[in-house]
Copies of this chain bind each other. A is one copy, B any other.
Amino acid sequence: MKIPIQVSADSSAPMYLQIEEQLRALILSGELKEGTMLPSIREFAQGAGCSVITIRRVYQDLENEGILLTRQGTGTFVAKVGDTNRERYRRDAVIAALVEAIETGRSLQSGIQEMRDWFEEALKKVYTLDDGE
C-alpha cells in the first residue's frame, strides 16, 4: 500500500506533526481500512524523504492514540476503530477546529452574523481553491 504523504519544507510545523495529521486523516476518513499494514519505517522514511526517527515517532504517537497497532517482528497495522468511534472522533476534531476559529473571531469583536457570512466566504475560498489546484 502506497501512502500519499506530502511534507512541505516551507511549513513552519515540524515534519512529524505534518505527517501524523495526514496519516490520522487517512485513517479516520476511512481511506485506510482497519487491518491494513503500513509500510515499514525505513520504507516510509525513504518515501517521505525524511529520517527514520521521524517516522518511528509518528507510528509511536499514533499507536498511543490507539489508531495504530504494532506487532513485534510483523509490522504496523491500522487498528480497529469502531464506526461509531470513528464518527465521534471525526466530529470532535472538526468541531474543535471550528470552535478555535470562532474564538479568534470573537476576540476580534466579530458578531455572530458577520462570522456566518465570513464562514460562507471561507467555504467558497477553500473549495474554489480546490478546483484550481
Contact = CB atoms under 8 A, between A and B. Distances in A.
A25 B107 contact: yes
This chain: copies in complex = 4
A-B pairs with the 7 shortest C-beta distances?
A: A98-B122, A97-B101, A29-B109, A101-B101, A97-B104, A25-B107, A94-B105
A11 to B, nearest CB: 9
Contacts of A108: 25, 28-29, 90, 93-94
Contact of A22 (B107, B109, B118): B107
Given A94-B105, A95-B122, A98-B118, 16 more contacts: A9-B71, A14-B72, A21-B107, A25-B107, A90-B108, A90-B109, A90-B110, A93-B108, A94-B104, A97-B104, A98-B98, A98-B105, A102-B122, A106-B126, A106-B130, A116-B119
A115 interface: yes
A99 interface: yes
Interface in A108-133: 108-110, 112, 115-116, 118-119, 121-123, 125-127, 130
A83 interface: no
Main secondary structure of the interface of A (DSSP, over half): helix
A116 B95 CA distance: 11
Interface string A31-47: 00000000000000000
